[in-house]
Amino acid sequence: MTILAKYTQLRESYHKMAAIGRDPFSVQFDGILSPTEGMLNGRRTILLGTNNYLGLTFDQSCIDKGVEALVEQGTGTTGSRIANGSYTGHGDLEKALADFYGRQHCMVFTTGYQANLGIISTLVGKDDILVIDGDSHASIYDAAKMTTGQVVRFRHNDPDDLYKRLRRLSDHPGNKLVVVEGIYSMLGDTAPLKEFAQVKREAGAFLLVDEAHSMGVLGETGRGLAEEVGVEADVDFIVGTFSKSLGAVGGFCVSDLPDFDILRVACRPYMFTASLPPSVIATSLQALKRLREEPGLRLRLNSNSRRLYEGLRNLGFQVGPVANPIVAVALPTKELAIAFWNGLLEAGLYLNLALPPATPNSLALLRTSVSAAHTPQQIDTAIELFAQVGRRLGVLPGLVQAAE
Ligand code: PMP
C-alpha cells in the first residue's frame, strides 16, 4: 500500500468531477489581460472569481512602485525577518496599516493564511480557550489545530449560541479569544458584529475579526465590517490580507494590545518563513494608499455587487443573504453545479466552483466575486450567461417556458 492510499476516495471523486468537463481546480490561463479579463483556451474570458475587489492588480501607480522596489532592492528577502532582518518597506507598510486602522501595532505576514494561523495559535495558549464560528475559513480551523488551548465552536453567525457557550466557560480561568469574519468567503454573508461585540464585552473575552473580504469593501473609509457597524473599539485584533482588495499577496494583524510586538519572537508562522519580497511590499503599500484616497473604487464595487446580486436573484437563482461583492449561487446538486460551471466557462465566464465539504451546509455553489473594475456591461453579460446556461440546464424552469 502506498503512502497515498488514503487519498483513493478523494482521487476517485476528483477524477469523476473533472471528467464532466474541465478540471475546476486546475484552470490555467493563457494570459491575464486586465483585472477583469483573461485568455483561457484561446478565448477572451470575463474574470468573475478572483477576489480582486478594487481591481488594483494593473493599477499603474502600484506597478511603478513594485518595479522600482524590484530594481532597487532585488527579487526577494531570502529569509525571515528575525533571521535576515527587515527592509524599510516592511516597517513602512506596518506603520501605514496601523495608521489606517488607528492602532498602535501591526505585524505583516507572508500570507493572510499565515496571519490567522500565527496570530490565533500564538494568542491562545494551553490554558486559554479559542472560540470560533462553525463556518470559519480553513486558516482559522488550522490555527485551531495548532493551538495548545481548548477549542470551542459556536453556530455560524449566532450571537445567542456564542453567549451560551461563553457563559458555560465563565468559571474557566483562562483567556477566551472569539474569532469571526467580516464577510464570509463562501456565501458573502456578514457577521452580526454588533451583537458579537456585546457578547464579547459581557463575557470579558477578546475579539478577533478577520476582515479579509471586507477590507476595502465595507465601512466609511474601507476598514471593514467593524467600522461599518461602529464597533471597532470592541475589536482587539483585526486580521487582513493583501491578496484581495490590495491585489497582491500577504497578510497582517493590527492591535492596540500594549505588548503585541512580543509575538514577533513567539509566533512561528511569522518567525520561520521568508518575509515578503520588497516589490510585493511596495505594491501593497501603494494599493493601501489608493484604497484610502479613492473611495470611488469602493462605491463602484458596491454598485457592481448590487447589480450582479439583484440580477441573479431576479432571474430566480438562490443567492446569499446580502448584496456583498461575493455573490454565490446555490444549485440543487453537485453534478448540476459542475455542469453549470463548465457551461459558463465555455461561454466565456470564469468563476469559482465551491463544493462540500468546503462549503457551509454542504451547498454546491457557483461563487462569484465582483470588482470595482468590472464595467456594468460585463456584469450584465455575466447575468445573461447565467440565464442562458440556467435555461439550458433546466435550473430556471420558469424561464424555459418564457424563452420558448
Ligand atoms: N481569511 C479568509 C476569510 C479568507 O477567505 C482567506 C483567503 N481566501 C484568508 C484568510 C487567507 O488569505 P491569503 O489568501 O492572504 O492567504
Domains and CATH numbers, the chain: 5-53+295-403 (3.90.1150.10), 59-293 (3.40.640.10)
State the pLDDT at residue 194: 98
Q: Is 212 in the pocket of ligand 1 (CB under 6 A)?
A: yes
In this predicted structure, what is the pLDDT of residue 402?
37
User: What is the pLDDT at residue 310?
Assistant: 98
What's the number of CA atoms in the CB half-sphere (13 Å) around residue 10?
A: 6
List of E strands, 199-291: 206-210, 237-241, 251-255
Establish whether residue 133 lines the binding site of ligand 1, counting it when its CB lies within 6 angstroms of any ligand atom: no
Sheet with 176-181: strands ordered across: 105-109, 251-255, 237-241, 206-210, 176-181, 129-133, 150-154
119 alpha carbon – ligand 1 mean position (Å):
14
Q: In angstroms, how far apart are the furthest CA atoms of the chain?
A: 68
Looking at residue 1, its pLDDT comes to: 79
- What's the CA angle centered on 238, arms 235 and 243, to 5 degrees? 155
Helix-, strand-, coil-residue percentages of the chain, each rounded to 5 = 45, 20, 35
Q: Is the CB of 241 under 6 A from ligand 1?
A: yes
pLDDT at residue 374 in the model: 98
pLDDT of amino acid 252: 99
Taking 70 as the pLDDT cut, the residues of the chain under it are 397-404
CA distances from 403 to 29, 38, 188, 339, 392 (A): 33, 31, 31, 21, 11
Q: Which residues contact 100 (CB under 8 A, 6 or more apart)?
A: 221, 223, 288, 292
How far, in Å, from the CA of 276 to the mean position of ligand 1? 16
Q: At what angle do helices 295-315 and 278-293 cross, to 10 degrees?
A: 80
Q: Which atom of ligand 1 is nearest to the CA of 51?
A: 8
**pTM for this prediction:** 0.96
Q: What pLDDT does 397 receive? A: 57
Q: Closest Cα to atom 12, ligand 1: which residue? A: 112
Contact (Cβ atoms closer than 8 angstroms) between residue 305 and residue 72 = no
Q: Are 116 and 238 in contact (CB under 8 A)?
A: no
In testing the pocket of ligand 1, which one of 185, 239, 242 has its CB within 8 Å of the most ligand atoms? 185
In 3D space, the residue among 103, 65, 77, 320 whose CA is nearest the CA of residue 211 turns out to be 103
Q: Which residues pair with 368 in a beta bridge?
A: 327
Ligand 1 near 232 CB (within 6 A): no
H or E element that contains 379: helix 376-392
What percentage of residues in the chain have a pLDDT greater than 70? Answer: 98
pLDDT value, residue 18:
87
pLDDT of 399: 44
What's the confidence (pLDDT) of residue 120? 98
The alpha carbon dihedral of 257, 289, 45, 317 has a sign of: positive
Centre of ligand 1 to C-alpha 354, Å, is 15
